[in-house]
Structure 1
Amino acid sequence: MTLRLPRTALSIAELDELDHDGVVRFVRALEDSGHRMVWIPEVAGREAFTTAALVLGATKRMIVGNGVARALERVPKSAGSAAFDLAAAYPGRYVLGLGVSGAVRERGVGPLPFLRDYLDGVDETLARRGGGRVPRVLGAYSAGITRLAAERADGLITFLVTPEHTRWARETIGPETFLSVVHWAVVGRDRATARDIARERLAYYLTLPHQIAKLTRLGFTDADLAPPGSDRLLDALVACGTPDQVREALRQQYDAGATQVAVSLVGPLDDAKLDAYRALTEEEN
């Protein structure tokens, strides 16, 4: 199955900070601005599938992907059944995204065999529910799970990576498999200010062993990864400047092989950020 999704998307971490009504207002504003797809990360508090249902129900045409739901948070039956219902209720508008971290080793199994078995369980659930194919992607950075995304899913989604990683991922999954790259950006600020804004959010990820391992493989040193992160690290991971300058920076990901780039705007959700979201729809319209 070739996954066809908009060339540009958003990854909206802001939902963790909003109540029900705030989520509804926010995603409707994004849709009204012309955005056609959002990925919902599962990070600080919101549950993946209920949040996807909320966003799908609050919008009319928006495509919504779990980007990504944590497989360790629920058994395959729960993930598969929830995904089946969302895909059935909103045809063509839902994408299941799944990922697993190295924390799974505490259960005595590696991430690759765990996720392979997990996908078996999801498929068994879908078959029991009546069959049908729910579009799905895997979040991955290791070679094994990246290849699994090409073998057992419709695509791959990555996060906090450089174009060099995107080029490697494209070579690994082949020319046809869908590849979405989530890239941080700060619109309307200079480089120094953008670094300061992004460092606050990056602090959490610099505590996660699988993120540290990924960034180390990308050539960053212990000095780069020591909190709060070096200027070199921030400059590689965060696009900044005017909307056109941000688009130019993101073009490097397309040139490296991304099918889609999902922009994640860093910083507080205020009027300036909403204006930045509106400005970034110009390329799509």
Structure 2
Amino acid sequence: MHRMHLILNGKSSQREDVRAAVERVRGQGTELEVRVTYDAGDAALFARDAVCRETGEQPDVIVAGGGDGTLNQVVAAALSANAATSCAFALLPLGTANDFAAGLDLPVDPYAALALAASGTPRKIDVGRINDRVFVNVASGGTVTRITRETDPRAKRLLGGVAYLVAGASRIGELTPSRASFSADGFNWEGQFLAMAIGNGRMAGGGVPLCAEAKVDDGRLDLTLFPQPEADDVLSLLSSLLREPDDNLQGYARRTTFTSLRVEAEEELSLNLDGEPMSASRLDVKVEPGALRFVTGA
């Protein structure tokens, strides 16, 4: 019998499809404990509690039920409390964009996601670390990140990823570039940029493949930089990011892969780690290969 521990974002706790999925998986023989978040730090608190239990009492699988931010909180807290935990992790995607799930083709149907968590074989995947912060999917930064961070949650619910384009277009006058230097394994670049993405996973911003070639188990992270374009091209760039980024951004974006990266800026950069905000003027980025056992289904 599998022991699963579902840390469920309180915003989704009343969804009938989630409740039905929990009961169905329990009926198939899985011991499934559900903890529902209420306060901001609850997901981290529940994760630490799960991985710090006595040997034999820890769950086999910890499932993050929510968006990429919930997954980040669960994984970061668990690894901080017990980096050598034997627990595997899985995702019940209940967010607006579900970028990590989309990048790995994970099921978004609640029953299918929980059934995979109960029966799938975990594999080791990498995590990224920026200074003292962990990310599983993508860390993004620059002015575009600040605007998407401030996008009206109601618009996100109604429009999904398109909300980010609408927000960018409506605040185009605020798209002032950031300036920083980037140095990594054989790669050096310095200049003004509108956005950057550091990917362990492939997608961010509502299904945009910002790091289209990233793989979660290759022992490397992918960097995609978007230098400051000509003023007339800014809106076209935003549109391209949502429509056909691979075709439209060839020759514009700067890309590389690395195991360690240093970013230095005169002013603090606004960052988004799997949906969780941070700011810093110096970033020491590294990959931690195989740091997480995750049920991906492939």
| TM bracket, shorter-chain basis | under 0.3
In proportion to residue count, which structure has more helix?
Answer: 1
TM-score by length of 2: 0.26
Which one has the largest radius of gyration? 2
